[in-house]
Chains A and B, each alone.
Chain A
Amino acid sequence: MRRYNLNIAGYNIGFESTVDGPELVPSERFLRNISGGTECEVLIRIHSGGITLPGGSEKVFDAPYVEEINNIRIKKSDNFWSVFKNQSDLFIRTIFPLSSDNRSGILKFSLKTKEWDLWIEGTGKAADPMEYPLDGLILYYLTVIHGDIMIHASGVNNTGSGYVFCGVSGKGKSTMAKLWDKAGVRIIHDDRLILRNTGNGFNMYNTPVYQNDKPAESPLNRIFIIEHGNKNELNPVRGASAVSMVIANCIQHNWDPEIIAGLLGSVSVMCSKIPVAMLRFRPDESIIDHILENEGGL
């Protein structure tokens, strides 16, 4: 393909290969997000080869390559992806650690423009412009632009009511999703969600992570900050405590005070409208009844 659109979490992202650019081959996990039409809110042009960052570019944010094995984070390399700033232009320079060859990429973008450029080096004739880690990075900066929230959380929809379970690795997001799945409840995702203010409330959306992910969304009615415990226990959290507990689970690049202020604002509004609770849980089906019996009192 030379051009296609993806609709992820309601964001319509266009991808277009330039004349000298590679053939675009989205990986399987994105195929169900391909949407028709040519209208998009951000168009990413893909070029083959690399560029040199403009002089004066300042590195503002840095991520090492960390692999997680059995909930233990192991740093594999200092060199993964970095964000650079040059006036209003931003650049993400990254390697693609899951690719079989030594590819690297540079995304040039801005929080104010709708046309971005991506150079992929070492790609040969075909490339997926949303190859890990660019997928998460592009989606993250779209949430920044739109004042939305990207969060480490699993989410379910139980007969119309949406529950989000936030927690970093090891807190029980996947366990919780499996328990609800076993009970026949619709799972939005078990690891990462985008939360958006619709004006009439908040919605949660999945993002393609696994090969079999299908686009899914749900209204958001309750937020739970989870951790494993010896018994099931639900305690409401309000005000600044709720905001800080939710924000601690958000995906965030806190190099820019304006980005931080935007996220703080969005999370504060959400926590003023959606009840938040601390949830300690035993990893068995009893937690589902416990939530359904007690969530009305939040």
Chain B
Amino acid sequence: MADLKSVPSRSPSIVTRKTGNEYVLVPVTNNIADMNSVYTLNETGAFIWELIDGKKNVGDLIDALITEYNIERETATSDAFSFIDNMSKYLIIR
């Protein structure tokens, strides 16, 4: 479970393509059974994704969300943890 000091990093086994303000993410896989998993990041997800560099911690991501979208800390915290939990579940970030 991530906390404010956790430092997320992107999985090297993901290929991305930016389309407008969004991203399409496709995992590298070695089995045909897994080959049609594709993920989409909306604009907020794309913003967080671009900040994830293996150096910034979750607290930094929340601060950046507050600055970028002028939202309450509570909302930004919920958005950041929700994103990280979801992406971790699919092994897209770790």
Q: Do A and B bind each other?
A: yes
Q: Are A64 and B36 in contact (CB under 8 A)?
A: no
Which interface residue of A60, A243, A248, A265 has the most chain B CB atoms within 10 A? A243
Q: Are A255 and B28 in contact (CB under 8 A)?
A: yes
B28/A240 in contact, CB under 8 A: no
Q: A240-B40, A265-B17 are in contact. Are A254 and B29 (CB under 8 A)?
A: yes
Q: With A252-B35, A264-B24 given, can you name 9 additional A-B contacts, CB distance below 8 Å?
A: A243-B24, A244-B40, A247-B26, A249-B36, A254-B34, A254-B35, A255-B30, A261-B15, A263-B26
- Asked if A240 contacts B22 (CB within 8 A), the reply is yes
Taking the complex as formed, is B70 at the interface, i.e. its CB lies under 8 A from any CB of chain A? no
Tell whether A102 is near chain B: CB-to-CB under 8 Å.
no
Most buried by A among B19, B20, B27, B37: B19
Give residues of chain A (132-151) contacting chain B, Cβ–Cβ below 8 Å. none
Residue B78 is within 8 A (CB to CB) of chain A in the complex? no
Name the distance in Å between A133's Cβ and chain B's nearest Cβ: 11
User: With A168-B36, A240-B40, A247-B38 known to touch, is A260 a contact of B15 (CB < 8 Å)?
Assistant: yes
Inter-subunit contact A60/B30 (CB<8 Å): yes
Residue B64 at the chain A interface, CB threshold 8 Å: no
Can you spell out 21 A-B residue pairs with CB atoms less than 8 angstroms apart? A59-B30, A60-B30, A62-B31, A63-B31, A239-B20, A240-B20, A240-B24, A243-B17, A244-B40, A247-B24, A247-B38, A248-B37, A248-B38, A252-B35, A254-B28, A254-B29, A254-B34, A256-B28, A261-B17, A263-B26, A264-B24
Q: Is A268 an interface residue (CB 8 A)?
A: yes
- Which residues does chain A contribute within 8 Å of B23, judged by CB atoms? 240
Closest to A242 in B: B19
Chain A residues proximal to chain B, CB less than 8 Å: 59-64, 168, 239-241, 243-244, 247-250, 252-257, 260-261, 263-265, 268
- The reply to whether B15 and A264 form a contact with Cβ atoms under 8 Å apart is yes
Q: List the interface of chain B (C-beta within 8 A of A).
A: 15, 17, 19-20, 22-24, 26-41
A residues in contact with B36, CB < 8 Å: 168, 248-250, 252
- CB–CB B30/A264 < 8 A: no
Whether A64 lies near B33 (C-beta < 8 A) is yes
CB contacts (< 8 Å) of B40 on chain A: these are 240-241, 244
- Of the candidates B24, B27, B29, B32, the one whose C-beta lies within 8 Å of that of A244 is B24
Q: Which residues of chain A are within 8 angstroms of B41 by Cβ–Cβ distance? A: 240
Q: A264 CA to B28 CA in the complex, in Å?
A: 13
CB neighbours (8 Å) of B31 from chain A are 61-63
Chain A nearest CB from B8 CB (Å) reads 20
The answer to whether A260 and B26 have CB atoms under 8 Å apart is yes
Contact (A257, B28) CB under 8 Å given A243-B19, A244-B40: yes
CA distance A62 to B34 in the complex (A): 11
Q: Which residues of A contact B27 (CB under 8 A)?
A: 254
Name the residue of chain A whose CB is nearest to the CB of B34: A254
Task: Determine whether the beta carbon of B26 is less than 8 Å from that of A239.
Answer: no
Query: Nearest CB to that of A60 among chain B residues?
Result: B30
Tell me which residues across on chain B come within 8 A of A240, comparing CB atoms.
Answer: 19-20, 22-24, 40-41
- Residues in A with CB closer than 8 Å to B30 are 59-62, 255
Q: How far is the CA of A263 from the CA of B26 in the complex (A)?
A: 10
Distance between Cα atoms of A243 and B29 in the complex (Å)? 19
Whether A239 pairs with B19 at a CB distance below 8 angstroms is yes
- A248-B27 Cα distance, complex, nearest whole Å: 12
* Chain B nearest Cβ from A5, distance in angstroms: 29
Residues of B within 8 A of A260 (CB): 15, 26, 28
Q: Which residues of B contact A253 (CB under 8 A)?
A: 32, 35
What's the minimum C-beta distance from A91 to chain B, rounded to whole angstroms? 15
The docked-state distance in angstroms from the alpha carbon of A257 to that of B15 is 6
A-side contacts of B28, CB under 8 Å = 254-257, 260
